[in-house]
Amino acid sequence: MGDEYKKLKGVRKQVSFLKDELTTMTAFLEKLALMDDDGELDPLAKDWRNRVREMTYDIGCRSSHNSSLSEG
């Protein structure tokens, strides 16, 4: 039972870290969206924005999945 507790505690720390990262990425994407509305983004920045957006989807899915596992 002690090993299971340690694993769950580790999962909770990972989920917390991912949620913090997701918050930062989301704020960054919102800033880029404002810049894009003004036509200030070059093609490289747009590509990078798209890659960050994909990562946020992946992190969000993993975070939701791990949260449901740690609560169950």
The per-residue pLDDT for range 40-60, each reduced to its tens digit, is: 889 999 999 999 989 888 877
Residue 63's pLDDT is what? 56
Residue 68's pLDDT is what? 55
- Of the pLDDT bands very low, low, confident and very high (cuts 50, 70, 90), residue 3 is confident
3-state secondary structure the chain: CHHHHHHHHHHHHHHHHHHHHHHHHHHHHHHHHHHHHCCCCCHHHHHHHHHHHHHHHHHHHHHHHHHHHHHC
The answer, yes or no, to whether residue 17 has pLDDT greater than 80, is yes
Residue 57's pLDDT is what? 83
